C-alpha cells in the first residue's frame, strides 16, 4: 500500500475520541455485562471474581460516567433501566470482539473438551433430534453435555442475547438483526391416530377429508388463541375442525390419541417416532399444509467461535440423518 492509499484509508476509518474513552476502564464494561446477565450484584461479582464492594464501586463509577442509574433495586436483585437495556447489546458485542481480537481461540477438540451446550427447542424436535444427536456423540464427544429448554420465542431469543442459550432450534420466528440463522430441514406434517379407534376410510389407510373434519383433533400451539398450520389451511378452504384437546406440548399428542378416537397432526419426524413407540398409524393429511421449517438461530457474536461452529455442524448433521431415515 503506497502513502496515498494509506492516507485515504486513515481518513475513511471511523474516528475514535481517545480523550473521552480514556476515562472509561474496560473493566467497568465487564462489570456492566455481568450485572446485566446476573441481575444481582453479589452473583455478578462472583461471576468475574471480585468482591461485592468492588462491584458496587464499579456500578457507582458507571452511573457517574453515563449519567444514569442503570440498575434499580428490586426484591431478589436489581432491574436494568431503559438506558441499561439500550446499552447491553452493544457492550456485549464489543466485549466479544475485544476478546476475539486479543485472545486467539484454541482449536475445539470435541474428543477432549468438557463443555455443556444449552439448546432451546420445542418438544417435538427434542424427542426427534436429541436422541440421534446424543447417540452419535457418545463416542465422538464423550465429555460434551447438553441442557435443553422448551421453546418460547421471546424468552429464548433474550436468552441468546444474555448467553444463557447457545442455539435456538424451531420455526422461523421473528428475531433481531444481530441473530444469525440457518434452515436445517423442512418436513411435511402427518396425521397420527390409533387405527383401532379411528379407522381410515381412504385408500391405503389414509383419512378422507370428511373423516378428518368429523373427527375430534388434538391441537398443538403455544397459546389457546393462536392458530396453527392446520387452522390456517382450513381457513382457506372455509372449513373448521373439531378440537377436542388443546396442548402446548407435542409430547402429549401420542398419549392422548393412543386412548381416545382423536387425530393429532405432528411434523413427520415426531409423528413417525410416536407411531413406532405407541403402535399408532400415521398418514398424510387430506389437506395441503405448509411444510414445517426448522431453523437454527444463534447470536452473531458466536459466529466464529470454534466450539459453537462445531455444535452447529452437529445439528445440521443430525437433521440430515433424520431426513435420510425418513426416506
Q: Rounded to whole angstroms, what are the CA distances from 231 to 186, 200, 226?
A: 19, 22, 9
Indicate if the pLDDT at residue 5 is higher than 90. no
Indicate if the pLDDT at residue 7 is higher than 60. no
pLDDT tens digit string along 70-92? Answer: 999 999 899 999 999 998 888 88
> What is the number of other CB atoms lying within 10 angstroms of the CB of residue 78?
19
Residue 298's nearest CA partner among 310, 316, 315, 312 is 312
Q: What is the pLDDT of residue 4?
A: 40
pLDDT tens digit string along 149-192? Answer: 886 766 777 888 888 899 999 888 777 778 899 999 999 999 99
31, with CB counted inside 10 A (0-12, 13-18, 19+), is buried
Task: Phi first, then psi: give them for residue 124, nearest 5 degrees.
Answer: -60, -35
Across the range 65-70, mean pLDDT stands at 90
pLDDT mean across residues, the chain: 85
Q: What is the pLDDT of residue 249?
A: 84
- Residues 6+ away with beta carbon under 8 Å from 305: 105
Across the range 12-33, mean pLDDT stands at 69
Amino acid at each position: 500500500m503506497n502513502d496515498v492509499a494509506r492516507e485515504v484509508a486513515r481518513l475513511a476509518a471511523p474516528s475514535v475520541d481517545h480523550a473521552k474513552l480514556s476515562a472509561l476502564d474496560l473493566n467497568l464494561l465487564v462489570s456492566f455485562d455481568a450485572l446485566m446477565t446476573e441481575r444481582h450484584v453479589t452473583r455478578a461479582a462472583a461471576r468475574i471474581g471480585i468482591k461485592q464492594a468492588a462491584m458496587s464501586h464499579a456500578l457507582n463509577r458507571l452511573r457517574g460516567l453515563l449519567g444514569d442509574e442503570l440498575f434499580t433495586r428490586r426484591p431478589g436483585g436489581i432491574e436494568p433501566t431503559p438506558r441499561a437495556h439500550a446499552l447491553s447489546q452493544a457492550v456485549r458485542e464489543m466485549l466479544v470482539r475485544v476478546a476475539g481480537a486479543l485472545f486467539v481461540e484454541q482449536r475445539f477438540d470435541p474428543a477432549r473438551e468438557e463443555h455443556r451446550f444449552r439448546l432451546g427447542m420445542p418438544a417435538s424436535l427434542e424427542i426427534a433430534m436429541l436422541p440421534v444427536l446424543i447417540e452419535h456423540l457418545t463416542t465422538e464427544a464423550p465429555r460434551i453435555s447438553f441442557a435443553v429448554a422448551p421453546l418460547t420465542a421471546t424468552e429464548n431469543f433474550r436468552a441468546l442475547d444474555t448467553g444463557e442459550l447457545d442455539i435456538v432450534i424451531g420455526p422461523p420466528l421473528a428475531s433481531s438483526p444481530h441473530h444469525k440463522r440457518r434452515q436445517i430441514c423442512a418436513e411435511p406434517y402427518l396425521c397420527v391416530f390409533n387405527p383401532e379407534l379411528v379407522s381410515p376410510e381412504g385408500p391405503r389407510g389414509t383419512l378422507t377429508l370428511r373423516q378428518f373434519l368429523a373427527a375430534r383433533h388434538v391441537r398443538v400451539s403455544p397459546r389457546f388463541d393462536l392458530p396453527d398450520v392446520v387452522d390456517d389451511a382450513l381457513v382457506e378452504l372455509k372449513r373448521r375442525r373439531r378440537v377436542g384437546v388443546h396442548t402446548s406440548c407435542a409430547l402429549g399428542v401420542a398419549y392422548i390419541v393412543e386412548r381416545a378416537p382423536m387425530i393429532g397432526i405432528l411434523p413427520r419426524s415426531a409423528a413417525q417416532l410416536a407411531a413406532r413407540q405407541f403402535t399408532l398409524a400415521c398418514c398424510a393429511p387430506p389437506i395441503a399444509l405448509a411444510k414445517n421449517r426448522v431453523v437454527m438461530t444463534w447470536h452473531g457474536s458466536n459466529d466464529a467461535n470454534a466450539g459453537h461452529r462445531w455444535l452447529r455442524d452437529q445439528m445440521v448433521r443430525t437433521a440430515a440423518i433424520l431426513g435420510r431415515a425418513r426416506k
